[in-house]
Structure 1
Amino acid sequence: MSREQERAKERIAAELDRSRRRSNGLTLDSLDEADLLAQHSPLMSPLVWDLAHIGNYEEQWLLRAAGGREALRPDIDGLYDAFENPRADRVALPLLRPEEARDYNDRVRREVLDTLDSVDLETVPAPRSAGERSLLEAGFVFHMVIQHEHMHDETMLATHQLRRGAPVLLEEESAPPEPSPPTAEEVLVPAGPFTMGTDDDPWSYDNERSAHTVDLDAYWIDTDPVTNRAYLRFVEDGGYQDPRWWSDEGWEWKRRRDAVAPAFWTPDGDGWVRRRFGRVEEVPPDQPVQHVSFHEAEAYARWAGRRLPTEAEWEKAARFDPASGRSRRFPWGDEEPTGGHANLGQRALGPHPVGSHPEGDSPLGVRHLIGDVWEWTSTTFHGYPGFSAFPYREYSEVFFGGGYKVLRGGSWATHPTAVRSTFRNWDHPIRRQIFSGFRCARDADRA
């Protein structure tokens, strides 16, 4: 085995361990059986479903598909198929109990590590087309499973936020770096082409491929995500009572929901408080606003005389380096994120104040593009030119054209292995239990 393969396998084993410790910390290590079996919201699965689903997905892809092994528990495949079982129905399924789920996951993991020792990761450059890739090329299938588990960990955190009861998640991180003020409230992104998407990132999904040139007119984009302080001005100006700012669909959602502020906000005297993982606290003014739907973000942007950026505008602001003309993997370069670059990986249980991570600025001076809050864009989820589903249609393709809106950048709850400047998230425009915020943009020819 080459030293390159050894290093790749060491990294995979370490990341598999990190993801499992995080999953167990959000379930078996923090909640009792009743909480794990309960459905805390019809929007979410019981946490014990997520836990066993992670193991079942790992078994199917790393043991059966990549390792060629016999199925350990084919009898539970149907229970943990996300497409066969809507979230609201999962609580009624004959699910594995928490300790059964732990034992199953542990057994899968032991066999996965045996498989990792024996497979050839095919450490060769990635081809241009997603359809030409193989599961083991540069360890892709292992990367896919690691990212999948971390995505479910973020989903588990959303369930924790919806859960009622005393706090069970600890605040462990020290205070973030002292925020620095922006040099300007918005940044001009020059007109011209840039490369969107990727052909060679070994962690990339099919919907991030293929790399293609997009030519954009000049536009302005906010230096930072919209903060709670800025959003509060919209609330206090009657933004939720004025249909001028809302699309017809958004106004109908707001009316049916009786929304008057972001999710989990409550008026308190002359101000507002929010509920965060069982804690009630004043809304921090300098953090990016989170738990807003696409409709709320769009309404705020109209009220402010602006709009949401397109997905391509977001990616150019995040990746394009005018000095070299190339697109970077991350706003700061190609090296992987550190705590200095971005607020990721549940280091905190919420966003950091804007300006806290100057090392993460893009070459154009746009800040907080990675981490803190997922950012809504105006783009409906679709495939790029040359898209080819890999390794299964249900990851991306079945969601194209379904009215899902694209979110970019990751949140404080997103693990560093599960986000990059090409990574594409998507959700229904009504969703706000997710850790979502936004920034605004405007055409450069508008005052």
Structure 2
Amino acid sequence: MSTLRNTKAAEATDASHTAALHTAALDDAAAFKERIAAELDEGRRRSLTYTDIDDDLLVRQHSALMSPLVWDLAHVGNYEELWVLRELAGADPTRPEIDTIYDAFAHPRKDRPNLPLLGPAEARTYIAGVRGRVLDVLEGLGEADLRGADPLRAGGFVFGLVLQHEHQHDETMLATLQLSGRPGLVRDGDLPPGRPGGAEEVFVPAGRFRAGAGADPWAYDNERPAHDADLPAFWIDRHPVTAGAYAAFVEDGGYAEPRWWSPRGWRWRAEQGVTAPLFWWREGHTWWRTRFGRAEPVPADEPVQHVSWYEADAYARWAGKRLPTEAEWEKACGWDPAAGRARAYPWGDAAPGPAHANLGHRASRPAPVGAFPAGASCYGAEQMIGDVWEWTGSWFLPYPGFRGFPYREYSEVFFGRAHRVLRGGSWATHPRAARASFRNWDLPNRRQIFAGFRCARPAPKEEA
């Protein structure tokens, strides 16, 4: 029986910074494993919290865009079994008959309610059994494994893989709970006040910078390899676009004017009858939204969320700007020009703290703009990590020298001119899955995700 099961979840806070974790791996393998176990426990408790609801809500499909919550719950355990127990430890499958059911590529989300899914109680029992065996495997790893050449063992990569995977599904669960329209299922919390005023844009000079993941052993394949990129000078919004600013676009007839929209975006808007961000409606002179089953006025000072790439692109044109490329976004976020190196986060390499960013479901909404001055980048851009995922103008494509690992279906099959890149993470993103180099992607018509954007523009020659 593993001694790691009783590790206090509070230790996970100290383990949230990758550099600290892997320094511990070199110095003390036992402490490193304890910290991984704490993080695994924290993530699992979050999954169980989001699924601690009526069975009817768990098995129901709340939108064709999303799986039933009970599918996500069993899927995270099946993924853990596949990568830790089978691929790493060479164990036989515990329930091979469910592998296809929980293969994310075997069945589209809209079809998953018709599959013979594990029921809520059975799913909880299954993932608990898998987790117990996973902790035994973790405890059995030695320092030679963590320092060795096996890419799944080295640096504990496979545990980072399953941990970040579960965090991502937890965010997906929150999106599903928002679509359910049921009140009382998701907790809220307090956030710091915003700071109105100040510069609307920040300047990023021309020059080379280092893009992509550096030494982080838990970064994904699509973040690699780190490479140099040379960019002309540009301006980028200091904050994400607010709901109040976006409402001005709507009220100016932005959804009725095709010149602001790309041809595909205009067709999408017309076919879907879209007239405002998802979950918005207007009564009199007030914009309202539904947030986790409750109606409330739209806060003008929050970053707008639940907008598609098409909507973000149209707003940017209306504002006389454009969406930043992902390279521009990453440079503005993480590059330290004085030190000539990339930072893990805008503020440096320290783990995200409460003064830096709105992450990890601290509250079930974005923070007002200006709430995190301590989280500013070297160039003065704020709230680039947390609050809302930010659409960029870039397609999801591989970096030069890309090598897929550990499986093609994580990144490689999505490359091309179908998915747009999002950066930065949202209020629902766990800090473990948020960093300056992290790349997210989705189809340009998706609005159920916690996505917003900021704008950019090229610098005139005299400024460059």
Deviation string for 1:210-244 (max 9, x for gaps)?
01000000000000000011101100000000001
Partners in 2 of 1:7 and 1:210 — Cα distance?
29
**Candidates 307, 311, 314, aligned match of 2:322:** 307
1:240 equivalent in structure 2: 255
What SS is found at the alignment partner of 2:316?
helix
Q: Which moved more, 1:299-308 or 1:69-78?
A: 69-78
| Amino acid aligned to 1:385 | P
Distance 1:402 1:195 in 2: 24
Gapped regions of structure 1 (runs ≥ 5):
126-131
Verify the 8 A CA contact 1:67 1:119 in the aligned structure 2.
Answer: no
**2:342 paired residue number:** 327
Which residues in structure 2 correspond to 1:288-299 (within 5 Å)?
288-299=303-314
1:255: how far off? 0.3
Deviation by residue 1:184-203 (Cα, 9 ceiling, x = unmatched): 10001000000000242122
- Residue 20 of structure 1 deviates from its aligned partner by 0.5
Q: Distance in 2 between matches of 1:273 and 1:252?
A: 26
**Deviation of 1:402 (Å):** 4.5
Q: Of the candidates 361, 371, 374, which is equivalent to residue 386 of structure 2?
A: 371
1:261 maps onto 2:276 in alignment:
yes
| Residue identity in the other structure for 1:422 | S
Q: Distance in 2 between matches of 1:399 and 1:120?
A: 36
User: How far is the alpha carbon of 1:133 from its aligned partner?
Assistant: 6.7
Which residue of 1 is the match for residue 108 of structure 2? 86
Report the AA paired with residue 142 of structure 1: F
8 Å Cα contact 1:37/1:46 also seen in 2: yes
Classify the secondary structure of the residue corresponding to 1:24.
helix
2:83 maps to what in 1?
61
Cross-structure match for 2:138:
116
Q: 1 CA distance for matches of 2:89 and 2:311?
A: 46
Matched, 1:226 2:241: yes
Provide the rounded CA distance (Å) in 1 between the counterparts of 2:241 and 2:79: 36
Separation in 1 of the partners of 2:402 and 2:267? 34
- 1:150 equivalenced with 2:167 (yes/no): yes
Deviations 1:310-332 (A, max 9, x none): 00000000011121111111101
Distance 1:170 1:146 in 2: 22
Task: Provide the identity percentage.
Answer: 59
Match of 1:134 among 130, 151, 154: 151
What is the letter of the counterpart of residue 153 of structure 1?
Answer: D
Find the counterpart in structure 2 of residue 362 from structure 1: 377
Write the distance in 2 (CA, Å) between the matches of 1:266 and 1:189.
37
- CA distance 1:133–1:355, shift in 2 (3 Å): farther
Match for residue 44 of structure 2 among 20, 42, 48: 20
2:72 is the counterpart of 1:50: yes
Note if contact 2:404-2:412 (Cα within 8 Å) is conserved in structure 1.
yes
**How far is 1:268 from its partner?**
1.3
CA distance in 2: counterparts of 1:419 and 1:164, whole angstroms: 27
1:103 Cα deviation after fit: 0.3
- CA-based RMSD of the aligned residues comes to 1.5
**Rounded Cα–Cα distance in structure 2 between residues aligned with 1:362 and 1:431:** 28
CA distance in 2, matches of 1:332, 1:433: 29
Instruction: After TM superposition, give the deviation of residue 169 of structure 1 in Å.
Output: 1.4
Alignment partner, residue 124 of structure 2: 102
Q: 2: CA distance between counterparts of 1:183 and 1:245?
A: 28
The answer as to whether partners of 2:360 and 2:428 remain within 8 angstroms in 1 is yes
Separation in 1 of the partners of 2:35 and 2:217? 13
CA distance in 2 between partners of 1:243 and 1:148 (Å): 39
Give the length in aligned residue pairs.
437
Q: Cα–Cα, structure 1 residues 182 and 397, in superposed 2: closer, same or farther, change >3 Å? A: farther
Deviation (angstroms), 1:3? 4.7
Contact 1:39 1:46 in 2 (8 A): yes
Q: Report the CA distance between 1:137 and its aligned residue.
A: 1.1
Query: How far apart are the structure 1 equivalents of 2:454 and 2:212?
Result: 21
Please tell me whether residue 7 in structure 1 is matched to residue 31 in structure 2: yes
Q: In structure 1, the residue corresponding to 2:296 is in which secondary structure?
A: strand
Matches within 5 A, 1:332-351: 332-351=347-366
Which whole-Å CA distance do the structure 2 matches of 1:398 and 1:15 have between them?
A: 29
Q: Is the 8 A contact 1:369 1:409 kept in 2?
A: yes
Residue by residue over 1:342-385, the C-alpha shift from the partner in whole angstroms, topping out at 9 and shown as x without a partner, is 00001100100011111110011100000000000000001101
Question: For the residues of structure 2 that align with 1:165 and 1:140, how far apart are their CA atoms?
Answer: 38
TM-score (ref. length: structure 2): 0.92
TM-aligned CA distance change 1:427 to 1:226, over 3 Å = same
Q: Where does residue 93 of structure 2 map in the other structure?
A: 71
Are the aligned partners of 1:196 and 1:212 in contact in 2 as well (CA < 8 Å)?
A: yes
Q: Deviations over 1:36-79 (max 9, x none)?
A: 11000000000000000000000111111112222111111000
Paired with 1:62 and 1:152, the residues of 2 have a C-alpha distance of 18
TM-score by length of 1: 0.95
Q: Name which of 168, 193, 200 aligns with 1:178.
A: 193
Give distance in 1, aligned partners of 2:306 and 2:164.
Answer: 23
Aligned partner of 1:215 among 230, 239, 263: 230
